[in-house]
């Protein structure tokens, strides 16, 4: 049959979350996906050598494990094979003087490591950790409700009841602060600040960008409180489980099925026509997990958009791009700062705030950064099943980069475009790692380099290699994501809804927008 209650465009994890919940509520659901496999930015493949499994983009599944969707469907997902691997040593930063600082689930060890740098900061960090229990319910309440909504208003009310004006002021100040402003208020030591601020670059926030304090704060506090997790066998563990659960609940998944058009009649989305000519009818809703710029650029047929919405989409900015470098290794890097770094899930190479600001400024100016910030993921330190016995994979995310190259800050790479520049730039990245882990290059068996444009080719939602589907700066977050007045997932076209990283609460593996939208539609 070709008639469904809801048709979901795009089988990324948000689209699948919406589909699973609607199917659980009795809706007849179809998910259409252009690619040969589901997952979007959550895919695990073997691009270099057989038996070496690499997470092509997302690796950290902590947001999914702690999500409302997983709390609701966790037991059923586990029955469909989902298993997480915990990382008790979560993340660390290495510094140019040969030292490091890391965070794990041992709060006493964290405090002792910070105390070695600054006893005063160790006490401040312990106080922040103790206060996190009071702050967390209100922050997660905001992130876990549509924006705006009665639920978000109730969250603010509960915060006022719990702590009055002082707590509300603290929450608002945290949400608006830059990473540097927040960290300077609490700490003195520059290494501690750099370790926490590195998380800001994951979400397009250099140290001095307003609104960037929340993610470094949450990542540091939640990793200490709950740890980090990755998927057993690969990040696609969540996708396999979600598609299995969708099938068990009667939903249908159409792969290799790009959308030709969303067909509108009488101001309402009525059907979806696939590139193969097949038409699927939607009785209740069409839900797009496609970037809004792509959806409304040419897929929606028979509708004129309001000027305010069209103008808002036209000015909706991507964040800077990223590069992914996947390596097969004979052994993990021997980090000169400490042998224990081999056991961390993430090692950040972003040694100070000045460097983070510099790399961001270079990237947004179109220049290849002289010294990019690196996120070095070591999944086989936690899950040896991803490689043959005794071997490893390394996951290297390069942040941040321009989509269009206008020059090289170091004056070394003359190539004008990513196809001819990416291997030379990858060499620069590997040389940086070598500086912190001598002998690293000799361990490399093979590599696969994905430039920002390669990432976009693999997943068109990642415009210019932007892994966030849109900058998270304050003018594009909260009520303004993706367009002011359209933050509650409903588009200007009747029956056509939006979810995914370009909508509230934004990027990450938390399945937030898909699950929130499905609950709004079906309870």
Report the share of the chain in percent with pLDDT over 90: 98
Tens-place pLDDT, residues 326-357: 999 999 999 999 999 999 999 999 999 999 99
Half-sphere CA count of 169, side-chain side, radius 13 A: 3
Q: Set out the domains of the chain in order of their start, with CATH numbers.
A: 3-39+234-316+470-522 (3.50.50.60), 115-220 (no CATH)
- The helix/strand/coil state of 331 is coil
* Residue 189 and residue 121 in contact, taking contact as beta carbons nearer than 8 Å: yes
Burial 91-123 (b: 16+ CB within 10 A, else e): bbbbbeeeebbbbbbeeeebbebbeebbeebbe
- Strand 268-274 versus strand 279-288 pairing type: antiparallel
Tens-place pLDDT, residues 310-325: 999 999 999 999 999 9
Q: Whole-model pTM?
A: 0.97
Q: What's the confidence (pLDDT) of residue 416?
A: 86
92 bridge partner residues: 102, 347
**pLDDT over 90 at 212, yes or no:** yes
Query: Torsion angle of alpha carbons 148, 154, 160, 162, nearest 10°?
Result: -140
Q: Which residues contact 436 (CB under 8 A, 6 or more apart)?
A: 94, 333, 335, 336, 337, 349
Q: What's the confidence (pLDDT) of residue 303?
A: 84
Report the share of the chain in percent with pLDDT over 70: 100
Q: What is the Cα–Cα distance from 318 to 290, expressed in whole angstroms?
A: 14
**pLDDT over 80 at 505, yes or no:** yes
Q: What's the confidence (pLDDT) of residue 461?
A: 97
Average pLDDT over residues 161-169: 95
Average pLDDT over residues 112-118: 98
**pLDDT over 80 at 125, yes or no:** yes
> Given pLDDT bands bounded at 50, 70 and 90, which one contains residue 1?
low
Q: What's the confidence (pLDDT) of residue 415?
A: 86
Q: Which helix (H) or strand (E) holds 419?
A: helix 418-436
């Amino acid at each position: 049959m070709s008639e469904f209650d809801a048709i979901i465009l795009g089988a990324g994890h948000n689209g699948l979350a919406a589909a699973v919940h609607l199917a659980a509520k009795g809706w007849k659901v179809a998910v259409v996906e252009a690619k040969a496999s589901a997952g979007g930015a959550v895919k695990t493949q073997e691009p270099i050598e057989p038996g070496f499994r690499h997470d092509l983009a997302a690796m950290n599944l902590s947001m999914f494990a702690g999500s409302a969707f997983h709390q609701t469907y966790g037991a059923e997902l586990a029955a469909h094979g989902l298993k997480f691997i915990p990382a008790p040593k979560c993340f660390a930063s290495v510094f140019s003087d040969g030292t490091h600082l890391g965070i794990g689930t041992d709060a006493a060890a964290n405090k002792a490591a910070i105390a070695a740098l600054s006893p005063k900061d160790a006490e401040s960090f312990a106080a922040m950790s103790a206060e996190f229990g009071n702050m967390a319910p209100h922050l997660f309440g905001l992130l876990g409700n549509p924006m705006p909504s009665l639920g978000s208003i109730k969250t603010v009310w509960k915060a006022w009841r719990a702590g009055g004006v002082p707590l509300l002021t603290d929450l608002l100040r945290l949400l608006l602060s830059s990473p540097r402003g927040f960290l300077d208020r609490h700490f003195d030591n520059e290494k501690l600040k750099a370790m926490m601020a590195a998380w800001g670059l994951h979400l397009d926030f250099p140290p001095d960008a307003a609104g960037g304090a929340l993610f470094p704060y949450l990542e540091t506090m939640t990793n200490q409180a709950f740890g980090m997790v990755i998927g057993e066998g690969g990040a696609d563990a969540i996708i396999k489980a979600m598609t299995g659960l969708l099938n068990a609940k009667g939903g249908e998944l159409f792969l290799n099925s790009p959308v030709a058009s969303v067909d509108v009649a009488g101001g309402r989305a009525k059907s979806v026509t696939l590139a193969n000519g097949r038409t699927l009818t939607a009785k209740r809703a069409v839900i797009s997990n496609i970037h809004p710029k792509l959806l409304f650029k040419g897929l929606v047929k028979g509708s004129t958009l309001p000027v305010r919405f069209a103008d808002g989409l036209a000015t909706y900015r991507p964040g800077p791009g990223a590069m992914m470098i996947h390596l097969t290794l004979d052994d993990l890097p021997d980090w000169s700062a400490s042998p224990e770094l081999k056991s961390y899930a993430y090692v950040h190479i972003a040694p100070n705030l000045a460097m983070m600001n510099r790399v961001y400024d270079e990237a947004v100016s179109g220049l290849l950064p002289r010294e990019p910030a690196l996120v070095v993921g070591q999944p086989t330190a936690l899950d040896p099943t991803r490689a043959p016995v005794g071997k490893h994979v390394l996951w290297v995310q390069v942040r941040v980069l321009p989509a269009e190259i206008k020059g090289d800050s170091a004056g070394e790479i003359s190539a004008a475009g990513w196809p001819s520049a990416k291997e030379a730039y990858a060499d620069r990245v590997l040389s940086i790692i070598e500086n912190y882990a001598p002998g690293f290059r000799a361990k490399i068996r093979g590599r696969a380099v994905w430039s920002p444009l390669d990432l976009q080719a693999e997943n068109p939602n990642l415009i210019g290699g932007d892994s966030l589907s849109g900058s998270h700066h304050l003018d594009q977050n909260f009520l303004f994501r993706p367009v002011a007045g359209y933050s509650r997932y409903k588009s200007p076209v009747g029956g056509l809804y939006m979810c995914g990283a370009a909508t509230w609460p934004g990027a990450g593996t938390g399945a937030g927008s898909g699950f929130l939208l499905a609950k709004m539609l079906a309870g």
